[in-house]
Structure 1
């Protein structure tokens, strides 16, 4: 895949880049290692000052970088601006909280009195250069939620971004440089996917984090396992959105539309499978389908646009194949489902009902504005359908019954359960999944400690 900006609204190639060769990649690896030796000793106060400066610069750049993101991957421009603002917020959160999150811990003396120590500390120390393999769907946010905690912990970052967002990738390196971080603290590697393995095998790279597809996750995990390097993986998701009879149906349907089509439906944590109790199924389906049908699909630079183009032609082909397979197998199309004419990689908001286990869309992630509706006879069946997925990233539950809430929180196989609300990531909350959605956690204190050496310091009497 070429490293290029291709406008998904019209298919026009705007800029192309030459991949970095072995010599330039080696230079950057050397620089990362050398910078880490000194950057790791900087005080939290200095790191926080630099990260606050980066947040301020990002706020100043918000409109410009939003247009870049929209041009590169088709995100509606209003959502792109919101993404940039969220990144600045996360930077400030880690700048303000990292010192406390990574403060030395001292066990209760009574717990370690038989260890022979006069004093025991647990200290969090940085690992070194961390390779981040990042996707195109949230081209700023996915990177910042790694970079902010990694830099505050004293690590340095090497970014291998998706090949269709090179301008965003280069912007990020420039942002941290302008903020005053030492040269080599954060570098973008303009390399193809085939070059990732060699970088990950390099002894100077101490760990890796990847957000992306299952095949990409398997490849990185296999190499990291062979090299015995720490990894965090955030992979696909097919999140359930469960609606029970006690739910506020109007609010649930309204949020369901947003939950499905945020980022044109190209989000791992977008709700994709809508599991509705039979008593309210028809009422919810009518409200939800009406809301999906009312969305405006069009030019992502238009402030009135709700749904832009898919990021790539291949992504649209994959989505069409999933929908066509479902329809051939008996699914009913309640709205959408037809490929539009004209330029750009657009696909209409679509609702499918009558989903069965033999349909590909039941097992595979639909990465676009396509929702599937399921009818559940009771709570037990709702849980069974929700868990009948290889993924387990997050989940949404709509009920005002406390007993039902307790069952869902206990039994849903997911990294998060959002009750009467839409799944969202926040810097103070751990984020990640189970099953084929990956392992490890990003954000919060859990995320910043993922790439730290947890060191026991024992003092003799």
Structure 2
């Protein structure tokens, strides 16, 4: 795949880039190793000052970087601005909370005495250069949520970004440099997927984090496992959105539209399967379908656009295959289901709602990366939970109910990294984020995320 910006609204190639050759990659690895030796010794006050500087710069450049993201992957401009502002928030959160998250831990006095020590301390130490293999769908946020904690922990970062968002990747490299970070603390590697293995196997690279597809995660995890290097993986999702009879159906249907179509439906944590109790199914289906059909599809650079194009021609073709397979096997199309009229260029697809889904359909088990929702009718709580847990994924989940017994069951029994009650899934710097089952392992964000790439070191002093 070429390293190039291809505008998904038009299909036109905007700019191409040459991939780094082996000499350039070696230079980056050597520079990262040198930078780590000094950065690991800096005080938290220094790291905090640098990260606040990066946040201030990004905040002043929100409009420019938002336009770049929209050009490269097609997200509506308002969503792009919101993504950039969220990154500013995350940087500041880690700049202000990292020292606390990585503070020395003091074991219980009884345990220290029992070990024969005069004193014992657990210290969180950095581990080295971290390779981040990142996707195109949130090209700024996915990187910042790795880079901010990594840099605050005393590690350094090597970014292999998706090949279709090179300008965003280079912007991040430049942002951290202009913020005052020493050379090598954060570097973008313009490389294709074929070069990832050699970088990950390099002895100077300590660990890797990947957000992306299940096959990509399997590949990186396999290589890292062979090298006995730590990985954190955030992979696909087919998040359930459950609506029970006691729910505020009007509000649930309204939020469901946003939950399904955020980022043009190209989000791992977007709600995809809507599991609605029989008592409120008809009302929810009517309201939800009307909301999806009313969305404004158009040029993502325009302020009023709510749904832009899919990121690539192949992405649209993959989505069309899932819809066509479902319809052929008996699914009913409540709205959408085709390319919108009047869009001869670009990779647009109508917001779509499908009902009468069965287990024979691919869409029942595979992730839909686009504005397509599947509706299921359930008879009771047990069926809702069983159906919610029936896919290989477990990234997040949503449940709408005012019944406290049901709330407790959803919190206990939904197999996912997150359970959101009466609201849609979202990520926040202060809350851990990650998945279960084939949605990956490890956690990002909060104190859990910053400690993933640290060495918890037991320091023992004799009596």
Interval of TM-score (by shorter of Structure 1 and Structure 2): over 0.9
Alpha-carbon shift at residue 238 of structure 1 (Å): 0.4
TM (norm. structure 2) is 0.99
Secondary structure, counterpart of 2:61 in structure 1? helix
1:271 counterpart = 2:271: yes
Q: Which secondary structure state, in structure 1, belongs to the residue aligned with residue 279 of structure 2?
A: coil
- For the residue of structure 1 that corresponds to 2:217, the secondary structure is helix
Q: Report the counterpart of residue 242 of structure 2 in structure 1.
A: 242
Q: Distance in 2 between matches of 1:338 and 1:48?
A: 49
Deviations 1:240-297 (A, max 9, x none): 0000000001100000000000000000000000000000000000000000000000
1:96-107 alignment runs, 5 A limit: 96-107=96-107
Q: Deviations over 1:378-419 (max 9, x none)?
A: 000000110000100000000000000000111100000000
Equivalent position of 2:303 in the other structure? 303
Q: Tell me, what secondary structure is at the counterpart of 1:384?
A: helix
Deviations 1:2-35, CA, capped at 9 Å, x for gaps: 0000000000000000000000000000000001
Q: Determine the structure 2 residue equivalent to 1:423.
A: 425
Equivalence for 1:38: 38
- Aligned counterpart, 2:333: 333
Aligned twin of 2:313: 313
**How big is the shift at 1:340?**
3.1
Aligned-partner Cα distance in 1 for 2:32–2:154? 12
Quick one: distance in 1 between partners of 2:339 and 2:114? 71
**2:446 corresponds to 1:453:** no
Which segment drifts farther, 334-343 or 92-101?
334-343
Partner of 2:364 in structure 1? Answer: 362
CA distance in 1, matches of 2:379, 2:248: 19
Give distance in 1, aligned partners of 2:224 and 2:358. Answer: 37
Deviating more after overlay: 108-117 vs 203-212: 108-117
Q: What residue in structure 2 maps to residue 379 of structure 1?
A: 381
* Offset, 1:107: 0.8
Query: How far off its partner does 1:112 sit?
Result: 2.4
| SS of residue paired to 2:411 | helix
> How far off its partner does 1:110 sit?
1.2
1:23 matched to 2:23? The reply is yes
Aligned ranges 1:16-415 → 2 under 5 Å: 16-341=16-341, 342-415=344-417
Query: In structure 2, the residue corresponding to 1:325 is in which secondary structure?
Result: helix
When the two chains are superposed, the root-mean-square deviation of aligned CA atoms in Å is 0.5
CA distance in 2, matches of 1:334, 1:130: 46
C-alpha distance after superposition, 1:29-87 (max 9, x if no partner): 00000010001000000000000000000001100000000000000000000000000
**DSSP-derived class of the 1:279 partner:** helix
- Partner Cα separation in structure 1 for residue 65 and residue 237 of structure 2: 27
Provide the C-alpha distance between the structure 2 equivalents of 1:55 and 1:112, rounded to a whole number of angstroms: 41
* Cα distance in 1, alignment partners of residues 9 and 348 from structure 2: 8
In 2, Cα distance between the equivalents of 1:354 and 1:114? 63
**CA offset digits 1:315-365 (Å, max 9, x no partner):** 000000000000000000000001235110000100000000110000100
For the residues of structure 1 that align with 2:309 and 2:435, how far apart are their CA atoms?
27
Whether contact under 8 Å (2:309, 2:347) holds in the other structure is yes
- Distance in 2 (alpha carbons) for counterparts of 1:85 and 1:178: 18
Q: Is the 8 A contact 2:112 2:118 kept in 1?
A: no
Q: Separation in 1 of the partners of 2:112 and 2:398? A: 42
CA–CA distance in structure 2, aligned partners of residues 378 and 258 of structure 1: 25
Aligned residues: 461
Residue ranges of structure 1 left out of the alignment (5+ in a row): none
Q: Structure 2: where are the runs of 5+ without partners?
A: none
2:446 corresponding residue in structure 1: 444
The 1-side partners of 2:156 and 2:111 are apart by 36
The CA distance in 2 between the partners of 1:266 and 1:160, in whole Å, is: 20
The question of whether the paired residues in 1 share the 8 Å contact of 2:51 and 2:95 is answered with: yes
Cα displacement (A) at 1:231: 0.1
- Compute the displacement of 1:113 (Å): 1.2
Cα separation, 1, equivalents of 2:447 and 2:218:
26
CA distance in 1 between partners of 2:249 and 2:365 (Å): 27
